Structure 1
Amino acid sequence: MLNRRHFSTAIMAGAAATVIASKANAQTAATATVPATPVAPGAKARNIVLVHGLFADGSCWTGVIPRLQAAGLNVTSVQNPLTTLPDAVASAQRVLNRQDGPTVLVGHSFSGMIVTEAGMHPNVASLVYVAARAPDAGENYTALAKTYPTPPASAGIVFDGDEGRLTEEAFLRDFAGDIPAVKAKVLYAVQEPFHKALLAGQVTQAAWRHKPSYYAVSTQDRTINPDLERFMAKRMGAHTIEVKSSHLSMISHADTIAELILKAAG
């Protein structure tokens, strides 16, 4: 029979082995579908991965998704956790891992940060930015944005402790300004609060320096300065379109944004 000391030692050893095995299984599951070699930049894509930004959730792409599906594409909308940039990038990477072949990675607003970092994933063939942040590696986006006039929506951000959100007035006027009020109020009701820590993140690599990029500038944007959007689009050498739209062009101009994504898909 085992004495108490030997029994405890055996239990701890077994637990440690279980933890190690669990970690190994998790790592295997996370990387199982990642291709051995990257897809070619600009390769014709059959998959689209969409990422939402602040004050929203994955449902903000519902106007674009059926248009892409009608073209025969496999579409997934990521539910961005809005906690920290590493968490948000990891959520996109898990979805990218599941894609079978070339994929277009699309980001709106803040999620341009995610697209810029996660876009280095070997499944990603091209990138689409929709009124989105597009920082360079190691760049302080906040400092960059301050070189342009501050957009009105910034004044409408309020915090409950560590969580930030837009007031209803700012949401309807400065975020969803060209969307019918009844629909905009529904979008306001489902906005997902973001954590302050999310805004402190910086990207470590810029996928747009390595892969074909597309950019939709919202000319009536009151959340990101349109001239800042133009600067970022020009800097990345993106195929750029201008949409007479509020920040939410993928909702108010779903056909136009879907066409840009289809162009990126080849």
Structure 2
Amino acid sequence: MTATKTTLRQIAIAAAFAAAATATHANANAAPAEPSAKPSVVIVHGAFADGSDWAKVIPLLQAKGIKVTAVQNPLTSLADDVAATRRAIAAQPGKVVLVGHSWGGTVITDAGQHDKVGSLVYVAAFAPDAGKSTAETSEGHPAAPGTKRFVADAEGFLSLPEAAMREDFAQDVSKAQAAVMTATQGPIQAKAFSDKVSVAAWKTKPSWFIVSARDRMIDPGLLRAMAAKIGAKTTELPASHVPQQSRPAEVAKVILDAVAATR
């Protein structure tokens, strides 16, 4: 009787392994999932911010049936932020419209070389050339008022005090909103601004650019010069450094234009 039970148990185990092997073989030979017909949007926030900086734009894109992912950058170095962005890009089902704000523009310039990226959207953002850093991109242009108000901690991470957030970073949002932005900001390692991009994705990918005419963190003249250099389809808004906060519908429209043109 004991031998019979042992035999039956062995048969059951063998059958389970066989079923698992059959399922694995079937999955391996199944047709790959069809890529999404509509591109996904991956958003890369800038310094002194986090993914919540895009909370007003994201629902507008989702309402159009677009899959949106906001990358949470560690802001520890360009390499770290590019790695986080590339992981987000790789997780998308098909083509990607890659959006970068401010420092995030430097990140998408490098990470945008990914095969899935179909187009780039720069929002009041840096767009360095290959082999150049964010700091080098600013050379020859006036220092914006807000850049004189950075506060560094003992480990070299920069942040903005609430007054600077309210007066220079986001002067066209409510005081209450600026207070929330101060609380949720991501400090950036100062040395990151000297990290050089390895490639300039805008040389091979179509680009859109939003210039903030009232920007106090990046000189508007520099924004216009970068937009012209990369040959971007340019929209100028009478906004602060964060048009995604003060003019979300207009920012969403530019992103939607890029989505419509990306296949």
TM-score interval, smaller chain: 0.7 to 0.9
Indicate whether 1:229 and 2:200 are aligned: no
Aligned to 2:250: 256
| Number of positions where the alignment pairs a residue of Structure 1 with one of Structure 2 | 226
Aligned to 1:180: 174
How much is the aligned-residue C-alpha RMSD, in angstroms?
1.6
Matching of residues 136-175 of structure 1 within 5 Å: 136-161=129-154, 162-175=156-169
Indicate whether 1:124 and 2:141 are aligned: no
Amino acid at match of 1:252: S
Among candidates 89, 93, 97, match of residue 104 of structure 1: 97
Aligned to 2:196: 202
Amino acid at match of 2:95: P
Aligned with 1:217: secondary structure?
A: strand
Could you tell me whether the CA contact under 8 Å between 1:138 and 1:202 is conserved in 2? yes
Aligned with 1:242: secondary structure?
A: strand
Among candidates 50, 70, 76, match of residue 77 of structure 1: 70
Report the identity percentage.
44
Q: Summarize deviations over 1:136-194 as a string: whole Å, max 9, x none.
A: 00124323313111100011101011211012211110001101111111111111111
Could you tell me whether the CA contact under 8 Å between 2:151 and 2:158 is conserved in 1? yes
Structure 2 CA distance for aligned equivalents of residues 81 and 143 of structure 1: 22
Structure 1 gaps of 5+ residues are: 1-38
Structure 1 CA distance for aligned equivalents of residues 99 and 232 of structure 2: 13
Q: Give the ranges of 4+ consecutive aligned residues of structure 1 lying more than 4 Å apart after TM superposition.
A: none
Q: TM-score, normalised by structure 1?
A: 0.82
Aligned with 1:211: secondary structure?
A: coil
Q: Which has the larger radius of gyration?
A: 2
Structure 2 CA distance for aligned equivalents of residues 207 and 45 of structure 1: 21
Structure 2 gaps of 5+ residues are: 1-34
Shift of 1:45: 4.1
Aligned to 1:60: 53
Q: TM-score, normalised by structure 2?
A: 0.83
Could you tell me whether the CA contact under 8 Å between 1:220 and 1:246 is conserved in 2? yes
Aligned to 1:193: 187
